[in-house]
Homo-oligomer: A and B are copies of this chain.
Amino acid sequence: MMNATLEENLSGIANQLRIDSIEATTAAGSGHPTSCCSAADIVAALFFGHMRYDPKNPKYANNDRFILSKGHAAPLLYSAWAEAGLFPREHLKTLRELNSDLEGHPTPRLSFADVATGSLGQGLAVGVGMALCARLDNLDYRTYVLLGDGECAEGSVWEAASLAGVKQLNNLIAIVDCNRLGQSEPTSLGWDTDAYRKRFEAFNWRTEVIDGHDMEEILEVLGAAGLGKQPLAIIAKTVKGQGISFAADKEGWHGKALSKDEAGKAIAELQPKAKSGVAEAIQAPSNLPLPKNEAPASYPAPNYKIGDMVATREAYGSALLRIGEVDQRVVAMDGDTKNSTYADKFFKKFPDRSTECYIAEQNMVGVASGFSTRGKVPFASTFACFFTRAYDQIRMAAISQGNVKLAGSHVGVSIGEDGASQMGLEDIAMMRAVHGTVVLYPSDAVSTEKLVEQMALHKGVCFLRTSRPKTPVIYNNDEAFPIGGAKVRRQAAGDKLTVVTAGVTLFEALKAADALAKDGIGVTVIDAYSIKPLGSDVIRAAAQKTNNLVVTVEDHNPEGGIGDAVAGELSKDGIKVHKIAIRELPHSGKPQELMAKYGIDADGIAKTIKALV
């Protein structure tokens, strides 16, 4: 009797959420009401009959987490939090307005959205990161991820499913809202819920196939969440537009708000079965000790000698280990390259804080985002070129205001023999273009170490570009490398031109400067270790002393890299920038041969400069 009432009440709340979603989208004149309707029963069951959380404090660290991977059902999420009492229901009608944070897709401008969603197929990876973090922090919150069926075509879903299966994340629950209809046509699998079941089982998940509108079934399978060792996938057969007779299970309704008339009809159908404020009290989360997640007062100093030959990728590994010793927030992940990126130094010392993500870069960045939402400082590493694989996840991490640190090694032609597919030649452009990022490109071990510290202390998405070849240490262990700075490495009165560069080409530029000096041509050389934000003041001041003439040198394609950064920022001050970059599709070869062939070695730089002065 008690249970029956609970179920009736939850079904009633689901209908209220449908009404709220319809009203909000109709008021906005756009949105995805039918995508809300299919998932309304599931969300009602989760929020008002199952999850343990503090509805007044969505950020409480041991609340169960809910990720709306199908972000276009945002109005449903907003309606649930209004029903939970976080804000007045009337506010829902500000959906999609400029001055309301109830945006078209959820973002962490809202206290209850841990990450931004809306680029499909990304929620489960974030959930894997959260579930792993729960284990690390000895917390018993569970992570629930609501996916659309359409987004299960994204490979990122299966990357996440694979790692969750391997890690036996029984604190992770995926719910697939299998409503059969995509945006432009039915999904490839339609209502073949058995196909989804087989897929998740093949990835080592426990599965349940249910009627996603049968509250009894929903509660029953949710009640068994957390049992066994496997993550749980609930495949819920649903109807898109459920509850709206004229739109239910019909093509052509995706992403369309109902007209006022249509909304009136739909609400008339739903209202008699709708309830509000009738839920049992929401279950409180357990009161467990919470992790502090505080930065240490300081980090121990690195210890190099000027002239030591150390690849910056190796210094990255040393730095991660060094700061990890004192900064418990630091966790690491890698994509089966950790013996090349040197993340393995950290992995060996701190296995519990390390996650091997295998060759699945999208998931790796999603996992990092998940850790980031829980107060950790995740450092994810692979070859720089393979971060292109996760560009959408990086973009979404920025929209999520995430605190994700990426270290991309093996940049440019200076990797040598492996060839173009392994060379990071677009990474600066890619990372600069994302809102709010920090892009760092150290040349020696000390600057690498110091920049890793800066990354850990800076809130936001940061990218560190490291190189394969060994380079000499040129800075003292106590040199400071603030984000947004640059270092003048060589400068004299009468210099004809300023070279701005970083990484392996800094050393080529210095050699070129030596050679040019013998011909009586003085050049200033700047280490632009901070590409975004750029050390503009340092560069401008130096350039103004050299007749505003600048040459940039980079082991990167010509577009969007150091040259464009300097020109884009400083041309308005009258500074003239000549770019030296990789202008051909590179071949395999020895590092020094390739640097010569593509004009970024000392000879090539000197030749270009001679033609300019």
Contacts and interface: CB of A to CB of B under 8 A. Distances in A.
Interface of A: 28-31, 71, 96-98, 100, 103-105, 107, 109, 116-121, 150-151, 153-159, 162-163, 166, 182-185, 187-189, 195, 198-199, 201-204, 334, 336-340, 344, 356, 358-360, 362-363, 385-386, 388-389, 391-392, 395-396, 398-399, 401, 416-422, 425-426, 429-430, 432-436, 532, 557-561, 563-565, 567-568, 570-579, 582, 584-585, 587-590, 593-594, 597
5 closest A-B pairs by beta carbon, nearest first, are A155-B155, A118-B421, A98-B589, A429-B433, A571-B571
Contact of A336 (B107, B185, B589): B185
Nearest to A149: B359
Between A31, A419, A532, the greatest number of chain B beta carbons within 10 A of the residue's beta carbon is seen for A419
A590 B419 contact: no
Nearest to A156: B155
Contacts of A185: 336, 356
A549 to B, nearest CB: 9
A142 to B, nearest CB: 23
Between A163, A430, A579, the greatest number of chain B beta carbons within 10 A of the residue's beta carbon is seen for A430
Contact of A421 (B105, B189, B575): B105
B572 A104 contact: no
Nearest to A568: B564
A104 B159 contact: no
Given A419-B103, A421-B119, A572-B578, A559 B565 contact: yes
B98 A587 contact: yes
Contacts of A597: 98
A546 to B, nearest CB: 14
26 contacts: A31-B417, A71-B421, A96-B417, A103-B587, A104-B419, A104-B588, A105-B419, A109-B587, A116-B420, A153-B162, A153-B336, A154-B360, A155-B156, A166-B188, A184-B334, A184-B337, A195-B202, A429-B430, A429-B559, A429-B560, A432-B559, A532-B559, A558-B568, A564-B565, A567-B577, A570-B571
B358 A588 contact: no
A229 to B, nearest CB: 16
Contacts of A107: 419-421
Contacts of A29: 417
Copies of this chain, complex-wide, total 2
A117 B421 contact: yes
A359 B154 contact: yes
A358 B148 CA distance: 13
Contacts of A421: 71, 105, 107, 116-119, 396, 399
A550 to B, nearest CB: 9
B386 A183 contact: no
Contacts of A436: 585
Given A155-B156, A398-B585, A571-B575, 11 more contacts: A30-B417, A96-B589, A103-B420, A182-B358, A184-B338, A184-B356, A396-B421, A433-B560, A434-B557, A559-B564, A560-B560
A360 B557 contact: no
Nearest to A160: B155
A468 B107 CA distance: 22
Nearest to A109: B587
Between A117, A121, A532, the greatest number of chain B beta carbons within 10 A of the residue's beta carbon is seen for A121
Contacts of A572: 576-578
Given A396-B421, A429-B430, A532-B559, A188 B156 contact: no
A150 B337 CA distance: 12
A560 B564 contact: yes
Nearest to A118: B421
A104 B416 CA distance: 9
A480 B290 CA distance: 65
Contact of A363 (B155, B183, B334, B359): B155
A150 B358 contact: yes
B419 A98 contact: no
Between A336, A398, A420, A573, the greatest number of chain B beta carbons within 10 A of the residue's beta carbon is seen for A420
Contacts of A358: 150, 153, 182, 187-188
Contact of A362 (B103, B155, B432): B155
A568 B557 contact: no
A368 to B, nearest CB: 16
B28 A417 contact: yes
A391 B107 CA distance: 24
A371 to B, nearest CB: 19
Given A336-B183, A359-B153, A430-B391, A422 B118 contact: yes
Nearest to A588: B103
B388 A395 contact: yes
